[in-house]
Amino acid sequence: MDLQGLNVSSGFVDTHIHGLHGMDTLDGTSDSILGMSKSLIQYGVTSFCPTLYPQDDKIFLNSIRNVVNAMGHEEGAKILGMHLEGPFISRSQTGVQLPQYMREVDLELMQKYWDASEGIISIMTVAPELKGMRSLALYCRKKGIVLSAGHSNASYDNMREGMEAGIVHSTHFFNAMRALHHRDPGVVGAIMIHPEVSCEIIGDGVHVHPALIKLLLSVKPKDKILLVTDSLRPTGQKEGDLYANNEKVYLKDGIFYRVSDDVIAGSSLTMNRGIKNLMDMGIDKSLAIQMATKNPSLVLNKQNELGSLIPGKAADIAVFDDNLNIEYTIVNGNILYSSRSQS
């Protein structure tokens, strides 16, 4: 193909996404997961981890099964596994999650999640300070689940204990976690101090100030920072009322806010726009793309399959112009999206 000067990279990998185009991981059907798969390719995403909020046990288990039932039937971006954002997280760092569904560590319940998932839980967000976390960490390490610190009020010492037990990643860094203090580095300080811990960044310029993203890049290894969207059901939705996590929201400057109290509910980011935002902050284009491709593959331990354009890896490719408008998305060597066929 003569791409006439366009940019070509490995397809984008989103490890933290709840929904878009009016579909959500908690809709209660596999069709919504498959719809997300088809919608994501227009943003250059070739693989993703559907991400679940804590809910009532019956709903949560059903949502896990829906991801399992969708996997292998995708007509767009591939499902790499799921990301459970809880429920073993802190009620003092809820964000917009509902505290009544947050739980103390329960290995019997965790086994139910694992059984329902048929072994495809890839990432789990946990609060390292919770009692029983070491046992949970050891369980998850045996299952190959990446444990990620998030929605946490952990002290620095709690974080060190968690990292020793196997917490190697962090969820939407800086957001919904104990902040840096000069007498208590907290969750934020621990992650910045310890180079082995990777972290997600929501690259919309609001969830994390651009100056802090630059600071993070100066102290963390470049392969430890991942771009994620954390996008919600109404992202890209063209009509109708907007709802996220079953609460009515409104969109302002690219961010969803709860109608009830004007609290930030989440992002309307897409991966291609996130890369462009990072570039607009002064981050080199190749590094911004790495944060959306290679780095997620490393966290998921799928670097031999995804994340770079090397013979032997999946032919997952994004083609885009200098403004990150997607021209083609190729999954497993097949052109699944072309902007020219959409116009």
Give me the mean pLDDT over the 167-180 stretch.
95
pLDDT digit string, tens, across residues 2-51: 999 999 999 999 999 999 999 999 998 999 999 999 999 999 999 999 99
- Percent of all residues in the chain with a pLDDT value above 70, rounded to a whole number: 100
Nearest to 222 by CA among 205, 240, 199: 199
User: Catalytic: 230?
Assistant: yes
309-314 mean pLDDT? 95
Mean predicted confidence (pLDDT) in 97-117: 95
Residue 318 has pLDDT above 70, yes or no: yes
From 230, 241, 316, 321, active-site residue: 230
Radius of gyration of the chain from Cα atoms? 19
pLDDT for 343 beyond 60: no
pLDDT at 157 over 90: yes
- Give the mean model confidence (pLDDT) for residues 85-104: 90
Is residue 307 within 8 A of residue 14, CB to CB? The reply is: no
Q: Which residue has the higher pLDDT, 82 or 240?
A: 82
Mean pLDDT to the nearest integer, 52-59? 94
Provide the 3-class DSSP secondary structure of residue 101. helix
- Provide the pLDDT for residue 284: 97
- β-pairing, 247-252 vs 255-258, is antiparallel
